[in-house]
Structure 1
Amino acid sequence: MTATTFLPELTARAEGVAHTRTPTCSCGAGGILADRPDGTVVRHADTVAKAHAPDADAAGLIRRLALASHLPDVFLPPLGPAPADLHGRLVTFWPYGIPVDPDDPDAAPWEAVGTLLALLHRAPVPESAPVMRGPRKAARAVAGLHAIGPHPAVAPVLAAWATLPGWARAEAPMPRPAALCHGDLHLGQLVRVPGGAWRLIDVDDLGVGTPAWDLGRPAAWFACGLLEPQEWGRFLDAYRAAGGPALDAAGDPWAVLDVPARALTVQTAARTVTKAVADGRPLDEVDHALVDACRRIAAVLAESAHESST
């Protein structure tokens, strides 16, 4: 199987499911929504097919699909309880939802993000729920740095990674109390459904873990200067107003968010440096902001360690 044959077959699967759902399908909008090593997503009319990563675990994915199905006020529900097989890749099917407009950051639904996360974190945790994979994903991103060879951005990213506790590097169990967590929260994981409500998508990392992890990426963006204080405040206020358990109703959130924010800063920096090297391009402004944030993380922790020893 090659990419030139896999994509048409995946698209045909999406078309088949769409026609089952709507026999009078207009066969309008369609095409490739994403094509990355960790997932390929195609659309036919109101149906989306996702081919998961080649190493995706079928049993874990089935449990994650069940979680999403039982949380229809939080997740876009899957169109079936189990993945299909396509040349050894696990494929799931979903209704199409309208994504956040990347060209209109002012319209980002930060209140919806905070509310959905709070609802997810407050949901009952089934005994069968898998472990949230966020720290494992961060560790994989950092491991990818070792394959790119000498690059001036690698050292500061690895130095920042070394400041993290073992649980944030997937080397130890996550601290309790645990909750259901998305595991890879960012604005690309939201879609608007008919009627105008927002829902979360992408269950690949969904599971039981430390809920503060889900707040870590917006916290990292804010700390790096990539998220305005107003948007950050809207997100935190909505999470707290909806009873999100990761934060107290008042007080400094950074006591809880410091480690996840550092971990996700490092993960994002590792990914962007790896991609820049693979594309043969210099780091752009956002890339430099992330690497500089890693330098500050390492420097602050080194200074703190020095003060503790004197």
Structure 2
Amino acid sequence: MQTRSGAQILVHDDVVEKLHRPGTDVRALTARLAAAAQSASLLAPLTAVPEPVGDRWRTRWPRVETVAPQPCSLPWAEAGRLLAQLHRESIPRRLPPHGWPQRLRRMLRATADVTVRRAAAGLPEAVWRAGSTGRPSTLVHGDWHIGQLGRHHARWVLIDVDDTGVGDPVWDLARPAGFWAAGQIPDADWTTFLDAYRGAAGPAVPDGDPWPVLEAFARAAVICAAAHHPDDELLRDACARMR
């Protein structure tokens, strides 16, 4: 399977081989594998050292049960608690910044859509950095959405550490927040997710109204998704409404 990011996935029975996207920094990837091997929240790789394949790098992972594309219900509460747990873990040494700002830049370089680029021009400076002054700095998944949940040995874990790193944990809430604001996640699901995250002492948002903290990052996540999915009219319309 070819992923949208440029990685390739091959499944052999209970082993998943991932050929990472071209240009992957092997030192950063190695640090991320080490972090996953130590984490209680991330799926641990089968081997902690990437294997060279031509000019690319391959890693091996246990096969897990992922969230069904169109289930009757989604595990939003479990997701909120798991992210809060990740954000409270100790930060491993030599872990790079998480990859959200870089992904946003890649997506914008790949789109010529005037509406999307105009919305991006209105983003504040904070979204172009992995961390922000005066904000918490934690372990961050870096590409979180509900499809990044996997079930391994009867427990939920987070999969895909290609963008895992250090920074502001608000980034891991950005995509669900943005999709909720764009009308693509029901109110009840968003509330369940946020309440579970807060109930598990997640540090990304304060008590009270979370939107002053979330708003800029939610906009960035919607803009990135619109650049990545040019045929999605709902995402493009959301970009058009941004001021």
After TM superposition, the score normalised by the length of structure 1 is: 0.75
User: How many residues in Structure 1 have an aligned counterpart in Structure 2?
Assistant: 242
How do residues 14-93 of structure 1 correspond to structure 2 at under 5 angstroms? 32=1, 34-36=2-4, 38-71=6-39, 73-93=40-60
The CA deviation string for residues 20-59 of structure 1, in whole angstroms up to 9 with x for no partner, is: xxxxxxxxxxxx4x44452111111111000001100110
How do residues 133-148 of structure 1 correspond to structure 2 at under 5 angstroms? 133-146=99-112
Q: Once the 2 structures are TM-superposed, how far is the Cα of residue 84 of structure 1 from its aligned partner?
A: 0.5
1:135–1:167 CA contact under 8 A, matched in 2: no
2: CA distance, partners of 1:218 / 1:127: 29
Give the AA of the match of 1:193. H
Partner in structure 1 of residue 235 of structure 2: 290
**Overall identity of the aligned pairs, in %:** 41
After TM superposition, the score normalised by the length of structure 2 is: 0.95
RMSD: 1.5
1: CA distance, partners of 2:116 / 2:97: 26
1:69–1:78 CA contact under 8 A, matched in 2: yes
1:120–1:181 CA contact under 8 A, matched in 2: yes
Higher helix share: 1
The CA deviation string for residues 169-194 of structure 1, in whole angstroms up to 9 with x for no partner, is: 35x86443211101110122111112
2: CA distance, partners of 1:289 / 1:37: 22
1: CA distance, partners of 2:16 / 2:165: 23
2:31–2:95 CA contact under 8 A, matched in 1: yes
Q: Tell me, what secondary structure is at the counterpart of 1:145?
A: coil
2: CA distance, partners of 1:177 / 1:241: 18
Partner in structure 1 of residue 168 of structure 2: 210
Q: Tell me, what secondary structure is at the counterpart of 1:92?
A: strand
2: CA distance, partners of 1:234 / 1:177: 23
Which runs of 5 or more residues in structure 1 are unaligned? 1-31, 147-153, 274-282, 299-310
Q: Once the 2 structures are TM-superposed, how far is the Cα of residue 166 of structure 1 from its aligned partner?
A: 2.1
Q: Once the 2 structures are TM-superposed, how far is the Cα of residue 95 of structure 1 from its aligned partner?
A: 0.3
Structure 1 residue 255 corresponds to structure 2 residue 212: yes
Give the AA of the match of 1:56. T
- In the superposition, relative to structure 1, how do residues 162 and 35 fare at CA in structure 2: closer, same or farther (>3 Å)? closer
Give the AA of the match of 1:80. T
2:136–2:203 CA contact under 8 A, matched in 1: no
Partner in structure 1 of residue 79 of structure 2: 113
Which runs of 5 or more residues in structure 2 are unaligned? none
Q: Once the 2 structures are TM-superposed, how far is the Cα of residue 167 of structure 1 from its aligned partner?
A: 3.2
Partner in structure 2 of residue 266 of structure 1: 223
Q: Once the 2 structures are TM-superposed, how far is the Cα of residue 99 of structure 1 from its aligned partner?
A: 0.8
Q: Once the 2 structures are TM-superposed, how far is the Cα of residue 66 of structure 1 from its aligned partner?
A: 0.7
Q: Tell me, what secondary structure is at the counterpart of 2:242?
A: helix
Q: Once the 2 structures are TM-superposed, how far is the Cα of residue 165 of structure 1 from its aligned partner?
A: 1.5
Q: Tell me, what secondary structure is at the counterpart of 1:43?
A: strand
Q: Which has the larger radius of gyration?
A: 1
2: CA distance, partners of 1:174 / 1:135: 12
1: CA distance, partners of 2:152 / 2:216: 33
2: CA distance, partners of 1:35 / 1:156: 25
Q: Once the 2 structures are TM-superposed, how far is the Cα of residue 107 of structure 1 from its aligned partner?
A: 2.3
2: CA distance, partners of 1:161 / 1:169: 11
1:129 counterpart (80, 95, 106): 95
1: CA distance, partners of 2:49 / 2:215: 37
How do residues 237-248 of structure 1 correspond to structure 2 at under 5 angstroms? 237-248=195-206
